[in-house]
Amino acid sequence: MVKVGFIGLGVMGRPMAKNLVTAGYDVTVVASSGAASELVAAGAASAESYSAVASVSDVVITMLPNSPEVRHVVAGPDGVLDGARPGTVLVDMSSIAPAVSIEIGALAAERGVEFLDAPVSGGEPKAVDGSLAIMVGGDAATLDRVRPVLEVMGGSVERIGAIGAGNVAKLANQVIVAANIAAVSEAAILAQSAGVAPESVFRAIRGGLAGSTVLDAKVPMMLAHDFAPGFRIDLHVKDLDNALSLAEEVSAPVPLGTAAQEMFRALSAAGHGTEDHSAMVRHYEQQAGVQLSPGAKPAK
């Protein structure tokens, strides 16, 4: 059985690593990480450093907040590349800048380590049930080697292109998700302000062209005002920062992404950054002077 090191046991990483343990993989985590004891209790082993995790692993997976953390864990002192053997596969499943993925890939190649950038979409619920969408950049043969590992965590594993392409796909995904959440929020407040129950509207339209995963997953949260994070606003701000930076580099227009980023930033500044990104509806509620509810409550 392939030996897997997993670094980054946050909201997403913890259930992803647990699914690998449940599937029977020999998983090693960093002992000092917050969720390490939970994973060890489930059957994982632990090691004292990133390099120690890499030294006992055939595949090392990182699931970290952003580019600086990936640089530190992979290439910093006592990092993954200090412990990895030639032929080890490093799979970074973090959502980071594509240019940093290319940089990390080059550093890995110098040590004989194969590298894939493989960010995911689906939030905590899909991390828990192992149905994430995984977008991969890197060599096709390398992906074939680790595909069985990734398929434990994902419902789809799609190679996009060379190293960095996975994160380009993820940034495109995040623009679409942000714009979709904004549109759903906008439509919900429109319906309620017109005296029509938003819940009824969404039941009516979800089977048509406007139907989407965002609609199904986020409308119940909006109606209940339950913003427990599956994906935090502050993380979406980070991803849109990377998307807008990429757009500037390649001279691509992103007006919807820019508008969504402004709303997310305002909500973060108002203290909502740790809430689920469905809390974007708060921005529209404030503008309309209403609070969304399942029944129709016209704005005054």
Residue 24: both structure tokens together: 């029977």
Dump the DSSP string for 155-186.
EEEEEEESTTHHHHHHHHHHHHHHHHHHHHHH
The question of whether 238 is a catalytic residue gets the answer: no
Q: In 10 A of CB 232, how many CB atoms?
A: 21
How many whole angstroms separate alpha carbon 38 and alpha carbon 111?
32
Q: Which residue in the block uniquely carries the two structure tokens 């807008």?
A: 244
The amino acid at 127: A
How many secondary structure helices (H) and strands (E) does the chain include?
14, 9
Say how far apart CA 159 and CA 155 lie, in whole Å.
14
Residues in contact with 224: Cβ distance below 8 Å, sequence separation at least 6, in sequence order: none
Annotated active-site residue in 18, 126, 170, 238 = 170
Angle CA 271–100–273, to nearest 5: 5
CA distance linking residue 212 with residue 206, whole number of Å: 7
> By C-alpha distance, which of 58, 9, 68 is closest to 38?
9
As annotated, the active-site residues are 170
